A = this chain, B = another copy of it.
Amino acid sequence: MTKNRVEAFSDGVLAIVITIMVLEMKAPPHADRIPDLLPVAPAFLSYILSFLYLGIYWNNHHHLLHAAPRVTPAVMWTNLHLLFWLSLVPFVTAWMGENHFAPQPMALYGAVLLMAAVAYWALQRAIVSIEGCDSELAQALGPDWKGKVSTFAYAVAIPGALLSPWIAGIAYVGVAIVWLVPDRRLARVIERRSSAPDAGA
């Protein structure tokens, strides 16, 4: 039951974060033609990117908490920490969109993504450490190459954005594509756990 409520609260925050971004796209009031929407286009593109990222986070968060044997105080706080960084996504999305993907807003967007990735990694560690580093869950997560690739991509994208926003843009879209494939590793643990209920703690 405790796990349920952590999930419910996280779902609530993520659902709101994903939805309030749409409030940043202001409908032009006395302009009733499709070309009048052109100024909103960068905001729309940045909304799509952030919707994708938050959808991916929700999806992986869903699998990760499902695989967690129980909720500890460390899980509670690392989860809140992750939600903090994700709650900043609407702000950096708006700044990036309103400034038409200028170098520094692109870099800051990457910095928030990087911090969210670090926070997700910390949540993952908190969940793995419940059962120990030799546990089935720890082994299933394995070398976590997706997490490493993302971190590397952000580390390149943040300074890269200052050279050319295209470097950052390609990195962010690329990382999103890499993560769109759901995490097979966790799905396997969950399946094994259901078939062999004595596998975990």
Contact = CB atoms under 8 A, between A and B. Distances in A.
B33 A104 contact: yes
Interface in A67-110: 73, 76-77, 80, 83-84, 87-88, 90-92, 94-95, 98-99, 102-105, 108
A34 B132 CA distance: 42
B32 A90 contact: no
B91 A22 contact: yes
A201 to B, nearest CB: 14
A9 interface: yes
A66 interface: yes
Contacts of A1: 66
Given A9-B11, A13-B15, A33-B104, A22 B99 contact: no
A104 B32 contact: yes
The count of identical subunits is 4
Chain A, interface SS category: helix
Given A2-B66, A76-B182, A16 B14 contact: no
A142 interface: no
A62 to B, nearest CB: 6
A17 interface: yes
Nearest to A12: B15
Which size bracket describes the interface of A in this complex?
35 or more
Interface stretch (A51-59, A115-123, A133-141): A51-59
A17 B5 CA distance: 17
A15 B18 contact: no
A9 B15 contact: yes
Interface in A4-59: 5-9, 11-20, 22-25, 27-34, 37, 48, 51, 55, 58-59
